[in-house]
Amino acid sequence: MLSRRNFWSFIFLSTVVIFASVATGAEFADWSADFTHPYLSAWHPGFSSSLYGTNPYTGQTGWKKYVVEGQTTLGGINCLPIHCTTIPSIPPEGDDYYVYLAQDTDGNIRYLKEGNLSFLPDPPIFLPATTSDGKTWSIQYQDPKYPMGQHRFSIYDHGTYKKNAFGFGPYEDSLYVRHYWEGALVGLIVVVPRFGIVHYDGRDIAQLQEAALAIVEGEVSDAWSNELISGATVWLDHNPPRQTLTDADGIYRFVDLPQRAFQLDVTKLLYEDFTTYVTTTLGGTTKRDVALIPLHGSIAGVVQNALDSQPISGATVQIDGNDATRQTTGSDGLYRIDNVRIGTHKVQAWATNFNFAEKDADVTADTITEINFALESINGSIEGVLRDSVTSAPVSGGTVQIDGDSGTQYITGTDGSFRLEDVIPGLHYLQAWGPGYLFFQKRVTVEANETVNVGDVFLVPESSLLPAGTDFYFDEGPDGWQFYSIPDTFDEPQTTSTDGHLGLSAGGHINCFGFWESPRIAFVIGKTYRARFTLRSDQTDPICVPTARLRINAGNSQTIATLMVNSLGDGEASPTTTPSTYDVVFSPPISSASCGITLSFDLANIGSEDNPDAWLYLESVTLEAVAVTPEQE
């Protein structure tokens, strides 16, 4: 049978130090009297509890009281002395003693001393840092003053301890422990978080007095979005290791803190570490909210035109479709977006008359990720109608393209209309032809996102052009040549088309202009042609001959080759009654292929030196393709 004191000290040991075991190599820090153990965190100076029941030896009601007194040092270890007495306050002999507890650096509560019995230098575990169902442990008393024998303990369940008769509880995650002595079951123990033992072998705790401890709490949020952050790790000092996680609402809370200054650290993946300091007040709550700054980098680059690599000014760049991140490029096309959270983002860019573009960017902390854009312009289109140049009827089955690119070809239907889509902005050559029609080409400038309507495009039937190399001798009249003048500006010359030539005379006027022009003549693209004009006049003195101008004209009037024949000086270049020949060389442009070339014979009598009544005659014109070689020096 245990002595009365030893029996009650045994209850204290068995109900609170339920995981006691001999251990060596325990290490202690200067905070070893500051308990953070989840089942003893309220054990600070000022905490007391009373085990209510009837002493089986004395019959007294009230039984046992444990009071945590001020911090002390034992064997160089900072520890808490627990004053153990019986109730009522005048105990029988031997029922007034102290036990000493300390927390090691691994989080275990160690049993340093009981009364005069010291467990130093290798104090056993009073309550281990971790617990689990099925855990079994034992303690062997070796001191002669204590009954020899083994005390064994086993956790058989974790559960909720319901409210007891004194109004304490319920307590979740309570430990249910079986206590054995020399193999016999002697009691059932309930240990609850923070307060330790609340029940032993049918006896309840009648009184719990929590020390005036401090609380630190707050919320953790995103510094940019203000959203609350769950799962953030919050530390107090890291030593002793007080640690918690923010809940689903971003809230953290520490209880059972002594009065002193603490370093508060908060960490969360994808955020910068945060450190601040708090000072607690006994019995008070210190609130400290934390705004974590996301780990971030920057995205920068240039926005260019994909066509010519020129920078695009005024382009818009944003990330993840977020308007708040938008940046606008300057004249150099550069942009930069700072404070971008690390990770993969979608970078989007667009500009007026350019297509939208998107790229992935992997942003890392404190770095600049370069993302450049080459924006494709929003292309334009060209539309119009192919028509017969003689009848104006739509040309069906005609081919339309740009820049010689067969991939752009469009075949017209019965209405002759065409539309070329996706035309890159810039200058293009619009080309068209059809069965029985000559090739047509013209320059068209297309702006971004513009539809250019070229209207009617007239294709010249092949039968309407004279063959390439046609000669004219006027033996049977004008051979299709037509006379033209500008009567509102110049006096109209006299004409003749008989006697095997075409004639022009100023008819006495000194401000006279008019000309004969040939029908349209086909040519071979890429060939150079020489027109040989034979002229005669009715003047024997070349000085008196009016000025003649000889021309080869592109049918689209875009280019022309001319030769002036005048009587300046001695008039040696002028024709007289003796015929003279004059050559004009011309390379017709491809743009004129659909309409050919024409030949012109002009009279320009504007000077007083010439005979205003003189006649000039075009006797013949021959046209042939020639090879042109550089003149040798």
Q: What is the pLDDT of residues 472-530, one digit of tens each?
A: 999 999 998 999 998 888 999 999 999 999 999 999 988 899 999 999 898 888 899 99
474 within some domain: no
- Burial state string for 586-602 with b = 16 or more CB within 10 A and e = fewer than 16: bbbeebbbbbbbbbbbb
Statement: residue 176 has pLDDT above 90: yes
Model confidence at 97, pLDDT cuts 50, 70, 90, reads: confident
State yes or no: pLDDT of 269 exceeds 70: yes
Q: Which two tokens stand for residue 137?
A: 């442990």
- 52 and 164 share one domain: yes
Residues 6+ positions from 23 with CB-CB distance below 8 Å: 108, 110, 122, 123, 124, 125
pLDDT by residue (tens digit) across 310-339?
Answer: 999 999 999 999 999 999 999 999 999 999
196 and 250 in a common domain = no
Same domain, 530 and 394: no
Q: Which residue has the tokens 């029940």?
A: 199
How confident is the model at residue 24, as a pLDDT? Answer: 47
Residue 9's pLDDT is: 42
Name every residue whose Cβ is closer than 8 Å to that of residue 125 and which is 6 or more positions away in sequence: 17, 19, 20, 21, 23, 108, 109, 110, 111
Among the candidates 340, 375, 410, a domain finishes at 375
Same domain, 490 and 586: yes
Can the peptide bond before residue 294 be classed as cis, meaning omega within 30 degrees of 0? no
Same domain (yes/no): 44, 188: yes
Q: Is the pLDDT of residue 279 over 90?
A: yes
**CATH number of the domain within which 285 lies:** 2.60.40.1120
pLDDT digit string, tens, across residues 354-370: 999 999 999 999 999 99
**Residue 621 binned pLDDT confidence (cut-offs 50, 70, 90):** very high
Cβ contact 450:380 at 8 Å: yes
pLDDT at 117: 84
Same domain assignment for residues 317 and 365: yes
pLDDT digits (tens, 9 = 90+) for 416-432: 999 999 998 889 999 99
Say which amino acid occupies 366: D
Amino acid of residue 300: A
Give the integer Cα–Cα distance in Å for 230 and 251.
8
Residue 633 lies in a domain: no
Q: Name the residue with higher pLDDT: 629 or 169.
A: 169
Residues 204 and 220 in one domain: no
Same domain? For 363 and 393 the reply is no
Residues 180 and 46 in one domain: yes
pLDDT of residue 1: 29
CATH number (domain holding residue 491): 2.60.120.260
Whole-number pLDDT of residue 305: 93
Indicate whether 607 pLDDT > 70. Answer: no
- Among 185, 209, 233, the domain-final residue is 209
What pTM was computed for the model? Answer: 0.58
Q: How many domains does the chain have?
A: 5
Residue 399 and residue 369 in one domain: no
What whole-number distance in Å separates Cα of residue 620 and Cα of residue 535? 8
| 415 in a structural domain | yes
pLDDT of residue 631: 56
- Identify the pLDDT of residue 3: 34
- Asked if pLDDT for residue 164 goes beyond 80, the answer is no
Question: Residue 504: CB partners within 8 Å, gap ≥ 6?
Answer: 493, 494, 495, 514, 515, 516, 601, 603, 615, 616
Closest CA to 481 of 581, 600, 597: 600
- For residue 475, tell me if it sits in a domain: no
The pLDDT score that the predictor gives to residue 25 is 67
38 with 117, same domain: the answer is yes
Residue 515's domain comprises 482-626
Residue 613's pLDDT is what?
93
Query: Does residue 43 belong to any structural domain of this protein?
Result: yes
| Per-residue model confidence (pLDDT) at position 56 | 59
With respect to residue 509, please indicate whether it lies within any of the assigned structural domains.
yes
Beta bridge partners of residue 517, listed in sequence order: 482, 600
pLDDT tens digit string along 366-409? 999 999 999 998 899 999 999 988 889 999 999 999 999 999 99
**Separation CA 124–CA 117 (nearest Å):** 13
Confidence bin at 11 (pLDDT 50/70/90): very low
Confidence at residue 555, expressed as pLDDT on a 0 to 100 scale: 82
In the chain, the amino acid numbered 313 is S
Strand segments, DSSP code E, in 309-416 are: 316-319, 327-328, 334-341, 343-351, 354-363, 368-370, 373-375, 380-388, 399-402, 405-411
Residue percentage of the chain with pLDDT more than 70? 90
**Structure confidence at residue 23 as a pLDDT band (50, 70, 90):** very low
Of the two residues 58 and 169, the one the predictor is more confident about is 169
- 51-65, 237-251, 329-343: the lowest-pLDDT one: 51-65
> Is residue 105 domain-shared with residue 170, that is, in the same domain?
yes
